[in-house]
Copies of this chain bind each other. A is one copy, B any other.
Amino acid sequence: MGAAVEDVKATVERIGRDAREASRPLATLSTEVKNRALLQMADGLEAGAPRLVEANARDLAEGKAQGLSPAMLDRLLLDQARIRAMARGLREVAALPDPVGEVTRMWHRPNGLWVGRMRIPLGVIGIIYESRPNVTADAAALCLKSGNAVILRGGSEALHSNLAIVAILQATLQKEGIPGAAIQAIPTRDRQAVVEMLQLEDSIDLVIPRGGEELIRFVARTSRVPVIKHYKGVCHVFVDDPADLAMAEEVCYNAKVQRPGVCNAMETLLVHEGVVPAFLPRIAERLRAAGVELRGCQRTRALVPWAKPASEEDWHAEYLDLILAVRVVASLDEAMAHIARYGSDHTESIITTSYDHAQRFLREVNSSTVLVNASTRFSDGYELGLGAEIGISTSKIHAFGPMGLEELTTTKFIIYGSGQTRS
């Protein structure tokens, strides 16, 4: 066992060194070369579908033998349709603007220096994720497009699939004269590999964990490399007085029911007492018809007797399910105080016709995404127009909210002088 761990450590360290080495030429690759590689990778995945399906069959067989649930086996599955979707994803990344080299601003100094800020890649990104193998291709594409090397550590149950995908991507890199170490996967199921990866502060610039709260907490606790993460999304919709109640009903229904298992679904509904009689029984009936269980405060239950009583934990809960906490509040301020106290800094929406309340909510609620008169479900890189989503951050350092290609870059100062010295 000791020897095996030593091997894991040495392997992961070598992967880290190779990634760091590859990151230098990657940083200045032309957009044209990167896009051509992405398009060829898409073709390669489609052409290699039989190999991918075969590797995936091994994962599925081992997963079945280990008693994975049907839901987990389904997430693991790669079929023709899913391989085509992966390829389409790569082509979409090729079509996005290249963030690298963009000069975001430029200004003159009194001494004649001309100062600018230019986007550059972060360097080496580590992605630690769970079962879905499509993340492998997605994350690799976004890192390549933004000029970063990537080290991928997927779910152990998807190891064969992930390695097969990476082998296809790497073959294309080499054809394009890009170092193969630009895209690497950790080739072992040993969990120690994650621990070793998280120690590589000199080789990895940023780690993005994607998965359940347990995985993310483990990564955050263990890592010496900076981590961008979100633990959970306790998203609120506040139906104000005055509000367009028909709109409120549509938005609340959408935010809860359209896809309840994701982090930007509504988990708590706050209703201004002024609209409670006109609004609450109607939305409650509609949600009940969709199979939603309500857990309400006392005033909610007075009007919706079938709602269960909400406990303190319900205000903190990310159900990821057809369950909704409901609270009646007396004012915008009480709604914002509830969000500040129980929220997760993820996404909150106000439904209002008041100009003043809309502006106050947008200004004063400091969650990563704050909406007026729209569903919380729009808190998503694609929906917001970032073109892609590599993850989402609910901590404020480096990125806050959905992260696209720009969030995989930083800026350096570039300065055009004409002999200036400092006195």
Contacts and interface: CB of A to CB of B under 8 A. Distances in A.
Interface stretch (A171-179, A298-306, A409-417): A409-417
A251 B27 CA distance: 29
B384 A109 contact: yes
Contacts of A412: 366-370, 400-401
Interface stretch (A115-123, A138-146, A150-158, A314-322): A115-123
A371 B423 CA distance: 17
Given A362-B414, A422-B383, A122 B396 contact: yes
A398 B253 CA distance: 37
Of the listed residues A27, A118, A258, A414, the one surrounded by the most CB atoms of chain B closer than 10 A to its CB is A414
Contact of A250 (B254, B255, B399, B421): B421
A226 B368 contact: no
Interface residues of A, number: 67
A250 B107 CA distance: 24
Interface stretch (A6-14, A36-44, A48-56, A373-381): A373-381
Given A109-B384, A371-B414, 9 more contacts: A27-B364, A101-B363, A369-B415, A373-B418, A374-B418, A377-B421, A384-B415, A396-B410, A401-B413
Contacts of A373: 416-420
A113 B369 CA distance: 13
Nearest to A370: B414
A107 B385 contact: yes
Contact of A378 (B28, B410, B420): B420
Contacts of A255: 421
A269 to B, nearest CB: 15
Contacts of A101: 363
B369 A420 contact: no
Contacts of A107: 385
A391 interface: no
A201 to B, nearest CB: 8
Contacts of A399: 410
A419 B247 contact: yes
B370 A415 contact: yes
A244 interface: yes
A72 interface: no
Given A397-B398, A402-B413, A410-B396, A375 B122 contact: no
Given A366-B120, A371-B417, A398 B400 contact: no
A354 to B, nearest CB: 14
Contacts of A122: 396-397
Nearest to A398: B398
Given A340-B24, A413-B401, A413-B402, A420 B375 contact: yes
A378 B422 contact: yes
A284 interface: no
A291 B395 CA distance: 49
A397 B372 contact: no
A18 interface: no
B417 A374 contact: yes
Contacts of A374: 113, 415, 417-421
A97 to B, nearest CB: 13
A377 B413 contact: no
A375 B251 contact: no
B423 A113 contact: no
A130 interface: no
B258 A423 contact: yes
Nearest to A415: B371
